[in-house]
Chain A
């Protein structure tokens, strides 16, 4: 058993609003192994993006990490560092952010500055964390950083990299912009890449190109990736291990094949049934999940899914089921399976 690269335990993040407390992440736990592709799937408000921002210590006020641990294995270190204990603006966190944990955001148009060329922005990131590229930690020159950037552009499949490096983000198409963003994320050879809905804003043929690129780069650099999306198709194609979230809690997690072919939690099952496929019967009523996503101010008591759950029992509204082992490598937080796990 390899040691995890990242280990999140009972993470809680809440936002103190005028109207009340929003518990955006309410006890999330998962592990990520080095080089693994972890898919985090969930609908809006499930806390998947907030969890990732917590890992990067980028929670904006009035949000706050109120409990839990985010332990991360730093490069050249045997010990795990608890990121929640680091000052968000401190030197150590700034050293990790970008250099060891990088983010590919959903909308690259908003992530790049429109008044600097994309090349300059990547060069700056390399110069900032430049010692990674040289033995002995000597600083790089601007010319060296530029050569590295051109090489990265070639790696991510941007044609004519020598010209494109001097382009502004608004001069690039959506697909090219996302490739440039990936080049920027990879520029400091991170050990963990967080991709937050990286293909949601782009077209399906471009999406296929970007997904193929990420898969190739992952194999080449052996970077661990956390892939956040609401698209179950993307998860099935990209991830080796899947975490299913709902209203700030992990409902189920396990290897991708088990999640898709032997889902244990009623939410996972219902979600998989409700998507139209390219193979099923057409023009018939799809099985639906009844009801709507609850408003974050009125979280249901007990299991957050119980008001919409077809298998809800009286105890589901009284207590919160913990995440427990339900099969060889699979965990679920559901009382349906607790009886199997702990006969009592």
Chain B
């Protein structure tokens, strides 16, 4: 398809487990093992899952902050070429860094509000020009340009996150990976930042990969949602579709676990028991079967593949399409 910006195929990232003096590799943590999705230009894909599911590792592979173990990350550049980010040599990767940017959970640690550095690295040499651009960016995210001379500690959490967004936008990116951008913020500030992201996306035609654990937030901002469990993508569908009829029992359980902000709606039924298995020693067959109330002998023996159960709706469950979860 022509409007595909990014296509991830069979992404894997293993971390070695070493032991002893010689650091012998005794096993692997399969942090990401089987992630496939397409990102269309201008859309927001929400990537959800619990801690340790590999969502952050997957997003870091896409940024090539870490090198993936296997799989392809096909990216269509601004000039129309398709490159595989997974294997691209560093010299060819460098010019693409400006196109793919990141918003962090709490930009406190990584923040210099003068912000001219990313511009300098990406080739803006004139000092005057840089100051103008910084002022423009600050206005874009709803801050006053005078703030450029302040130090990060002088800002509140919400302002800091706005600066983090401005920093990410400094290089005119096309793809922005946002890793838990609002989870460290207070409730009354969250809504402001979510609105800002939506507004900037429309204005600048940005494509977002929005990584988060809060299902209500992800639902609010995403066109489509991908759910991860123990390193694998288990379901992917348009937002309204996945909430209307989840096709994977884990997705359904995740939705039921969210406490509803209405005392008249009780969330009690179908609480998941047990815990997330370790990605170093995942269970046999379907990784979810030890916690799944629909599990059969087939689920214990045979690992399901991700398949399309309805147009645009993918699930990694043997019984997707046959059962209501």
Residues of A at the B interface (CB closer than 8 Å) are: 43-44, 173, 175-176, 203-209, 211-212, 230-238, 256-257, 260-261, 270-272, 274-278, 280, 282-289, 292-293, 295, 308
B interface residues (Cβ-Cβ under 8 A, vs A): 44, 50-51, 156, 158-159, 186-192, 194-195, 198-199, 213, 215-217, 219-223, 239-240, 243, 253-268, 271-273, 275-276
- Is A237 a contact of B253 with CB atoms below 8 Å? no
Q: Are A288 and B195 in contact (CB under 8 A)?
A: yes
Q: Is the CB of B188 within 8 A of A274?
A: yes
The answer on a CB contact under 8 Å between B219 and A282 is yes
SS of A interface (majority) = helix
Q: Is the CB of A236 within 8 A of B262?
A: yes
Task: Name the distance in Å between A177's Cβ and chain B's nearest Cβ.
Answer: 12
Q: A205-B272, A236-B261, A286-B195 are in contact. Are A292 and B189 (CB under 8 A)?
A: yes
What residues on A are CB-neighbors of B257 within 8 Å? 204-205, 207-208
The answer to whether A236 touches B259 (Cβ under 8 A) is yes
Please pick, from B215, B264, B268, the residue contacting A204 in the complex, using a CB distance under 8 A.
B215
From A173, A175, A205, give the contact of B253 (CB < 8 A).
A205
B220 contacts across to A, CB distance below 8 A: 276, 280, 282-283, 286
When the two chains form the complex, which single residue of A209, A272, A276, A293 contacts B272, counting CB atoms closer than 8 Å?
A209
Give the residues in chain A near B189, CB-CB below 8 Å: 292-293
Find the B residue at minimum CB distance from A286. Answer: B191
- When the two chains form the complex, which single residue of A208, A233, A260, A285 contacts B271, counting CB atoms closer than 8 Å? A208
Can you list 20 pairs linking A and B with CB atoms under 8 Å apart? A43-B186, A205-B257, A205-B276, A208-B272, A230-B186, A232-B187, A236-B263, A271-B188, A275-B187, A276-B219, A277-B260, A277-B261, A278-B215, A278-B216, A282-B220, A283-B220, A286-B191, A286-B195, A288-B191, A293-B189
- 6 A-B pairs with the lowest CB-CB distances in the bound complex, closest first: A233-B259, A276-B220, A208-B257, A203-B50, A274-B191, A289-B188
The distance in angstroms between the C-alpha atoms of A292 and B186, with both chains bound, is 10
Contact A286 B194 (CB under 8 A): yes
Complex interface: chain B residues within 8 A of A282 (CB):
219-222, 239-240
A16 CB to closest chain B CB, in angstroms? 22
Which of A238, A270, A278 is in CB contact (< 8 Å) with B243?
A278
Given contacts A283-B198, A286-B195, contact A208 B267 (CB under 8 A): yes
Chain A, residue nearest B159 (CB): A292
- Shortest distance from the beta carbon of A214 to any chain B beta carbon, whole Å: 12
Which listed residue, B187, B255, B268, B275, touches A212 by the CB 8 Å rule? B268
Starting from the known contacts A207-B259, A209-B271, A274-B188, 16 additional A-B residue pairs (CB-CB under 8 Å) come to: A43-B187, A205-B50, A208-B272, A209-B273, A232-B261, A233-B259, A236-B263, A237-B266, A276-B216, A282-B240, A286-B191, A288-B195, A289-B192, A292-B189, A293-B189, A295-B156
